[in-house]
Structure 1
């Protein structure tokens, strides 16, 4: 995977969307990118569990968890499964837990914060829908680029050799 630097990508491709700077890195990979697959859910991570059990093929799981500060939507077990199944990263508009373990995994993880409580499992939510949060609109098939500087969304894979 080529090294990515989101400020350089913004300079080279000014049409990218930039998410509001409310996310923090929790994974063992600081810079990651790939095609997006979306989930919309609230305090129920059933669809997150389902998604990470499937082949990721280098994709980024982007979860609109409603920004809830009341529970974690991803922990060490699901993150380990994401690694095993080839996901490049998870961006959670919500919280994660088991952060000491997440930091050791070869997975990009950005989230709003951490919370020790697990979510409910009611089987609710939607997959591969258009989601909006942090001043961005994201659709499955978009491309996400993330590092310690921020998170970008592009409507296509960007030619990083031009950065």
Structure 2
């Protein structure tokens, strides 16, 4: 299983998104805390109470090696759901990455820690711990439904989600797309133009 997630991370968000039929885009501006990082794994989800991160402590206790931890609120606000200490726990538990539909803080320490983290905001405003929230329930982030166990892919382009029951089909389609793009790149390096290869020159030609 981990080999499939490693390959999704290598293939990247753009390729997986296109190969999946342009489904699963997490349509939010995300800050990638660790430059150059990429991650993929099954979603481990926490839904926090309003401006509260108690659920993050619970999901940390449930995190398994390779999980991508998805943290959100019903109405996201720029309150820090994760800082250095919680991120340290998640890394120690073996999380592959963290997607925060909220804020993080201790940004410099998080970069030094090296756990791949994506967040909507960097803010120091602290969260309360008064609401248990919910763990491993479906959520909507950036217009996309994420179920526990769905594949979450993260890189410099943001995030995309692949439903667990489509994982093998989307992975195969992503491999095919990668091969097609490699051939196109070879031709462009040799001087070909997409304007010609796609037939746009003929279509755009004006009648004499």
Compute the TM-score of the two structures, normalised by the length of structure 2.
Answer: 0.71
The structure carrying a bigger strand percent of its residues is: 1
Who wins on radius of gyration, i.e. which is larger? 2
CA displacement, residues 105-126 of structure 1 (integer Å, 9 cap, x when unaligned) = 2322111111112211114201
In structure 2, how many angstroms separate the alpha carbons of the residues matched to 1:11 and 1:58? 24
Q: Which residue of 2 aligns with 1:44?
A: 52
Q: Which residue of 2 aligns with 1:5?
A: 12
Q: Any residues of structure 2 matched to 1:143-154 within 5 Å, and which?
A: 143-154=151-162
Whose RCO is larger (CA < 8 A, sep 6+)? 1
Q: Which residue of 2 aligns with 1:26?
A: 33
Q: Go from structure 1 to structure 2 and tell me whether the alpha carbon gap of 1:107 and 1:16 turns closer, same or farther (over 3 Å shift).
A: farther
CA contact (8 A) 2:37 2:155 kept: yes
Q: Which residue of 1 aligns with 2:130?
A: 122
Q: Which runs of 5+ in 2 are unaligned?
A: 1-5, 179-208
Q: 2:103 aligns with which of 95, 101, 107?
A: 95
Q: Which runs of 5+ in 1 are unaligned?
A: none
> What's the CA shift for 1:28?
6.1
The structure carrying a bigger helix percent of its residues is: 2
Matched positions, count: 162
Q: Any residues of structure 2 matched to 1:51-70 within 5 Å, and which?
A: 51-65=59-73, 66-69=75-78
